[in-house]
Amino acid sequence: MPSYPVGAARVMLQGYCEVEFSVDTRGRTSNIHPRCSHPEFCASATAAMEEVRFMPGRRDGRIVQRNNVVYPLEYRIEGMPDPIPDRTELKGCVDPLVS
């Protein structure tokens, strides 16, 4: 479960992310690339996917890495109308360590 960014909660900002990543043969995630409706959710989406474990892929009975997995995350505040995600408006997140 991702943590709700404090700054987003303070201004009642809701949002949506689609996070693309790989799952290795032990179920750990790597190559995490979120695309979010607002940059405020990028770090939380990345951190959540770093902690979660998934089932690795299977091919011909062997455990294999899965690539290009996409997982949706919604950031909603109880009592507010549900945001309607416009997936054409999602923006790639910039790694602050790179930029």
Query: What domains are defined for the chain?
Result: 6-92 (3.30.2420.10)
Is residue 14 classed as helix, strand or coil in its secondary structure? Answer: coil
Cα separation of 24 and 31, whole Å?
10
Locate the DSSP E strands across 1-99.
15-23, 29-36, 57-59, 62-64, 66-75, 91-92
Angle at 30 between CA 24 and CA 92, to 5 degrees: 140
pTM of the model: 0.84
pLDDT digits (tens, 9 = 90+) for 49-83: 999 999 999 999 999 999 999 999 999 998 888 76
Residue 1 has pLDDT above 80, yes or no: no
